[in-house]
Amino acid sequence: MVEIRERIREALATRGMTASDLSKKSGIGKGSISKYLKGLVTPKQSAIGSMAKALDVSPAWLMGYDVPMKSTLPAGGFHGGDVTYRVDEMRLLNE
């Protein structure tokens, strides 16, 4: 499985963003982003979600799973009938 720091770097390059841009867009401190990129610290689930949203990628992809880079979830998140999207995303994590 690919390390999360590699996926963060790949997503930053693909989106033409810097670590500073990611910090601003995700609300995560620059120091924390730096530690993630160096592999010194593994981000918590909430940070992974924030970075995935800021980078417009799937949280599962960001964590190194072999799933599409782009999230299959609706942009607005989960609302009522959208639970199906969540179930599909969880299936990808368990495969």
DSSP sequence for 53-80: HHHT--HHHHTT-SS-SS--S-TT---G
Q: Quick: pLDDT tens for 33-85.
A: 999 999 999 999 999 999 999 999 999 999 999 899 986 555 555 544 444 44
Residues 6+ apart with CB under 8 A from 81: none
Q: What is the pLDDT of residue 74?
A: 57
What sign does the CA torsion over 86, 70, 91, 37 have? negative
Instruction: Give the side-chain half-sphere CA count within 13 A for 20.
Output: 0
Q: Quote the pTM value.
A: 0.75
Q: What local confidence, expressed as pLDDT, does residue 90 receive?
A: 58
Query: Residue 84 has what pLDDT?
Result: 47
